[in-house]
Amino acid sequence: MTPEEIAGTLTELFGTESVVAIASSSWQIDTPNFRLLVLLSEDQTWLRVLLPLMPIKEAEQFLTQFLEANFDETQEVRYATYDGVVWGVYQHNSGTLVSADFASAIARLIFLHKAGLNDVFNRLIENRVRQIVVAAKQQGQSLQATMQNLERFYAEGLMGEIDQTAAAREEVLAAWQYQLERLWNEIDVK
C-alpha cells in the first residue's frame, strides 16, 4: 500500500475529521474512545499500526495471559508493552499489504481495545479453575465433593468478601458450579 492508499483507507474507516496526517508517512486517528497511530518506516517498506490499550500497572498480573493470547487468539495483531503501556500492534510489509487486510487488522485492534482486560481475565480464571479440577481429581474427589469444599470455604469465610450477602454468595457459587461442570469431564488426569 502506498501512503495515499493508506490515507484513503483510514479516511473511509474513520472519516476526514478523525484522520490527521502527522507526517508524510504517519497518521493519527482520534476518536472519543481511542487514539490509533499508523506509521510507515522511513523507507516505507513496513507499516505499523499502534493502539494504546491500558497502563502496564493495570495489566501486570495478566502478562502471561497476554502472551498466550498472542500465541492463540489475536490473529494478525499482537499485544506488546512499551513505555509503561500495553499496546495492540500490527506490522506488515507495506508492499504486499492490501486495503482489506489493513482494515481487518484495524478492526481487530479496536476489538482488543474494547475487550480490555475481560478476555485475559477470563483466561486466567479458566486456568485457575482447571488447576482446581486437576487437584481435586488427583485427590480422588468427585465433582460434588469439590463443590462442597468450595461451599464450605465460602461459609467459613476463607473465600469471598467479608460483607458478602447470602444472595451474592449463591451467585458466585452458581458460577463456580457452572465452570466446574463445564470443565470437569474435559480434564483427564492420568
> Which pLDDT tens digits describe the chain residue by residue (190 residues)?
999 999 999 999 999 999 999 988 999 999 999 999 999 999 999 999 999 999 999 888 888 888 888 888 888 999 999 999 999 999 999 999 999 999 999 999 999 999 888 888 888 888 888 898 999 999 999 999 999 988 888 888 788 777 778 888 888 888 888 889 989 988 888 7
Q: Which has the closest alpha carbon to 64: 51, 89, 81?
A: 81
DSSP 8-state code for residue 186: T
Q: Where are the beta strands (DSSP E) in the chain?
A: 19-23, 26-30, 35-40, 46-55, 78-82, 85-93
In one letter, which amino acid is 129? V
Residue type, 16: T
Residues 168-181 as b or e (16 or more Cβ within 10 Å = b):
ebeebbeebeebbe
**What is the DSSP pairing of strand 19-23 with strand 35-40?**
unpaired
Residue 68 CA to residue 136 CA, distance in Å, equals 25
Determine the length of the chain.
Answer: 190
